[in-house]
Structure 1
Amino acid sequence: MQAFEKVLGAIGDIVWGPPLLILIVGTGIYLTFKLGFLQIRLLPYSLKLAFSKSQDKNSEGDISHFKALMTAMAATVGVGNIVGVATAVVIGGPGALFWMWMSAFFGMATKYGEAILAVKYRVKDANGQMAGGPMYYIEQGLKMKWLAVLFAIFGSIAAFGIGNGTQSQAVAGVVLQTWNIPTWITGVILMVVAALVILGGIKSIGNVTAFFVPIMAAFYLIAGLIIILTNLPAIPAALGLVFSDAFTGSAVAGGAIGTVIRYGVARGVFSNEAGLGSAPIAAAAAKTDMPGRQALVSMTQVFIDTLIICSITGLTIVMSGLYDSGLEGSALTAAAFSEFLGGAGPVVVSIGLIFFASSTIFGWAYYGEKCFQYLFKNPKAIYIYRILFVLVVPIGATASLDIVWTFSDVANGMMAIPNLIGLLGLSGVIALETKKILAKIKEEKNGVTSSDEAA
């Protein structure tokens, strides 16, 4: 098993090496310029649209813009926002936070492109529900079904690791450490909760995440904002260190600037998943009259996840000065929060981690089942997948998952490759649909609205 793990680790290093990171960020840069820096021009409009509950309520789709966004946020905001950021700052130094921001900025264009294609090429399944994502726009848009099948295979496998086992393990670990509750008890509770949410399908997941995600995000953000607002004099120095270290790598042994960039970009991508092709699966379920409208909503996910939530974690760690203390992962984040919140610090991080990881299980269950459905077509396959997914939760909470994590890491990377090929190959479609939504927005500003908006 150790030899197998080493082989997987070597494959993971290759898959997540500089070529793929350059391809992911490069795709974001390309789309950013092709779309005229859309993420700057339309971010205020996108945020307003994302939190509108009446928008497109009578349009075709399964769930609202907001619920589609919250489902994607549930899957994206996870262990990476606490553990991933800490890892990036420890290995890459404070400057890694800057490169996380850069990957997120360009990732917003990538996420926009993914969602626009997901809605454009979505179909109705045998149950009358929407099905979409990279497998559909690769098959229908690029006419490369073999590549779509590869994406679906890797997506359905990765969901069990990154979106399930590793998340339940993180929750069980922090509950054991903080409250001394045995991991198997946590695993059983998580399984029951997951079953109640996941077995009901996307509408159930959407309803739960629409309530759950804003609360969990607000809880963590409020704690972070208390730290920042009560330590405003320390912010300029922290930001100065982030920016200076981003281009010198002085905080890394030997001044390895490449290490700063690599870990900043890599952890940014893991955090917001821009380019992996997971979130557009949820976007395809949204009620919308235009692909570009849901794409603008999806774009805000990266902004909230990385530029806000990850920044809270990163700046707190940098201000604490503990990034070179030898602590790692959630222990480092908890210690950093303790520097400013005292004994409440570890509790805040523990509760945040529980919320973040649990919600990731809900979101990734939907991603995995849609990939599985694409492969097997039979609607009953979805229910088989859901049951298997729920049963893995307690196993993940109690088992050692080093190999599962590494294997899922590889599967995530392999998901990204066909998805990025699809994005680049269909960039013309993305641009065309963008012209349509820009024209629609112009009409709205001039007082012209669609019938469902007027209603």
Structure 2
Amino acid sequence: MVEQGVAYINQVLWGEGQLLIYVLLFAGGWFTYQLRAIQLVDFKHMFGLVRHSASSDPNGISSFQALCTGLSARVGTGNLAGVAMAISLGGSGAVFWMWVIALLGMATGFAESVLGQLYKVKDSQKEFRGGPAYYIRAGLNKKWLAVLFSICLFLGYGASFSAMQANTMAEALNNTFAVPTYLSGLMIAIVAGVIVLGGLKRIARFAEVVVPWMGAAFVITAIIISVVNMAQLPGLIADIVLSAFGLTEASAGALGAAIKSGIQRGMYSNEAGAGSVPHAAAGAAPNPNHPVVQGYIQMLGVFVDTIVLCSCTAVIVLLAGIGASGEMAGISVTQQAMAIHFGEYGDDFIALAITLFAFTSVVANYAYAESNLHFFKLDNRLGRLSYTGIYLTMVVWGANASLQQVWNLADMSLGLMTLVNVYAIVLLTPTIKNLTQDYRNKKQAGNSLEFRHADVAIQGKTAEGVWE
């Protein structure tokens, strides 16, 4: 009964009507227009801000830690298993549509992260917390909608997403090292529990150390494969672009599948518009102290996740000669591709990479849902322990569930979150535009970039003691 309900909702969101695809394309186009192509015009400035992103204050994590925490959640099975799944269902053309949704999603990610920063609050431990539920309540005064988002968030990031990451880790370890899935699930839950019980700051420190090295190692691997197969690269890129529009013989009948699977898996990977990353953005104390700064930093996260890391997986899979099969296939495809490039060592490398990629996501997913405990006044010892118990139970369950069950639940949760969040941030567009213009005016005039309430007209009100 539950599976039938999940399947029906996914059919509405992702099926024949493809509601979410249109919603995400609209959101990306809307904010690209409203913010004057900020992801292109301020591309260089976005990177420049990273140089000053390591400093913070006692109430929050640094902008760089927030970026790494966001990437911890983004960089996971979507980058390795998700890309392979998109190619197996939609062919090489799906990669092009992943790029499109990422480019548009950079503007959406900027918008939602700016709001996460602006409407953040201080929790019972005097640390910053925030996210869509907070800016929906404070900016739009729609508490019922904020509650709906929070429920979807707990269902998604508090339960199904971590289960899905655990499923992929367990499959990879079982395929390569014959580790029983139940044992993998227990070990993942134990190690994750040690980290997440330390709160957001411990999670952020973990992400800050692990994510940059993890990403760099994967990019270097893809570069080595590309150099070895340099002669094939021009043809590969041409095939991706032509297949995206059904202009090759192999892709002529799979145009719809390429668009759908590329956007769906690309959106799942970079999470732009889903309302997840604003939780990490809200936890930061940016330098300079302006909400727009964190918008730029998190916009960079979308670029790194999809344009860089997902492209690396696509290159690895496609240069191995693996294309569309018409069937859902996950991490085993990426493992097969690496085995073709590097023999048995490639299979081992991907098993270890997916374990690390997915584990960082499991940890960051906890932080996202945990940040909403304050919203329900559950940010106390009993509330945190209860939530942690449910979260770790789902990790163990996910390691032993079927691939189809876990991905279906994750798709439904992500879809419902996205609908609520996109509706909210579109309504809050005037505030986003005013904040962005305030930052641009101060930057152009050479003035201090610090945010001052009196300079900007915003919707609703911000929390006391945060921006004064």
Q: How much does 1:438 deviate? A: 1.6
Q: Distance in 2 between matches of 1:417 and 1:447?
A: 38
Distance 1:401 1:164, change over 3 A: same
Q: Distance in 1 between matches of 2:229 and 2:67?
A: 32
Contact 1:278–1:367 (CA<8 Å) still a contact in 2?
Answer: yes
Q: Distance in 1 between matches of 2:110 and 2:166?
A: 30
CA deviation map 1:76-121 (0-9, x unaligned): 1111111111111121111111110000000000000000000111
Tell me the equivalent position of 2:465.
none
SS at match of 1:82: helix
Tell me the equivalent position of 1:341.
342
Q: Distance in 2 between matches of 1:9 and 1:379?
A: 36
SS at match of 1:275: coil
CA deviation map 1:392-412 (0-9, x unaligned): 323322344644542332121
Tell me the equivalent position of 1:321.
321
Aligned identity (percent) is 32
Tell me the equivalent position of 1:176.
174
Distance 1:191 1:231, change over 3 A: same
Tell me the equivalent position of 1:269.
267
Superposition pairs for residues 210-225 of structure 1, below 5 Å? 210-225=208-223
Q: How much does 1:325 deviate? A: 6.0
Tell me the equivalent position of 1:417.
419
Distance 1:340 1:447, change over 3 A: farther
Superposition pairs for residues 13-52 of structure 1, below 5 Å? 13-17=11-15, 18-52=18-52
**Which residue identity does 1:350 align to in structure 2?**
A
Structure 1 vs Structure 2 CA RMSD: 2.2
Q: Distance in 1 between matches of 2:449 and 2:166?
A: 45
Q: How much does 1:311 deviate? A: 0.3
**Structure 1 residues 366-375 or 82-91, which shifts more?**
366-375
Q: How much does 1:249 deviate? A: 5.9
Distance 1:376 1:249, change over 3 A: farther
Q: How much does 1:126 deviate? A: 2.1
Contact 2:89–2:326 (CA<8 Å) still a contact in 1?
Answer: no
Q: Does 1:330 align with 2:331?
A: yes
Distance 1:438 1:82, change over 3 A: same
The one of 61, 64, 73 equivalent to 1:63 is 61
Q: Distance in 2 between matches of 1:331 and 1:403?
A: 17
Superposition pairs for residues 341-420 of structure 1, below 5 Å? 341-380=342-381, 381-400=383-402, 402-420=404-422
Distance 1:204 1:36, change over 3 A: same
Tell me the equivalent position of 2:146.
148
Superposition pairs for residues 169-208 of structure 1, below 5 Å? 169-208=167-206
**Which residue identity does 1:310 align to in structure 2?**
C
Contact 2:98–2:263 (CA<8 Å) still a contact in 1?
Answer: yes
SS at match of 2:275: coil
Q: Distance in 2 between matches of 1:159 and 1:48?
A: 31
Q: How much does 1:254 deviate? A: 5.5
Give the total of aligned pairs: 445
SS at match of 2:179: coil
Contact 2:90–2:324 (CA<8 Å) still a contact in 1?
Answer: no
Unaligned segments of structure 1, at least 5 residues: none
CA deviation map 1:185-228 (0-9, x unaligned): 22222122111110011000000010011121112111111111
Runs of 4+ in structure 1 displaced over 6 angstroms?
A: 447-451
Superposition pairs for residues 95-174 of structure 1, below 5 Å? 95-174=93-172
Superposition pairs for residues 58-97 of structure 1, below 5 Å? 58=57, 61-97=59-95
CA deviation map 1:407-449 (0-9, x unaligned): 3321211111110011110111111111122234335xx5967
Q: How much does 1:159 deviate? A: 1.8
**Structure 1 residues 80-89 or 10-19, which shifts more?**
10-19
Distance 1:370 1:204, change over 3 A: same
Contact 2:130–2:372 (CA<8 Å) still a contact in 1?
Answer: no
SS at match of 2:125: coil
Q: Distance in 2 between matches of 1:251 and 1:105?
A: 27
Distance 1:223 1:334, change over 3 A: same
Tell me the equivalent position of 1:434.
436
Q: Distance in 1 between matches of 2:108 and 2:144?
A: 23
**Structure 1 residues 139-148 or 251-260, which shifts more?**
251-260
Unaligned segments of structure 2, at least 5 residues: 452-468
Tell me the equivalent position of 1:243.
241
Q: How much does 1:51 deviate? A: 4.9
Contact 2:270–2:305 (CA<8 Å) still a contact in 1?
Answer: yes
Q: Distance in 2 between matches of 1:385 and 1:51?
A: 36
**Which residue identity does 1:416 align to in structure 2?**
T
SS at match of 1:371: coil
**Structure 1 residues 187-196 or 270-279, which shifts more?**
187-196
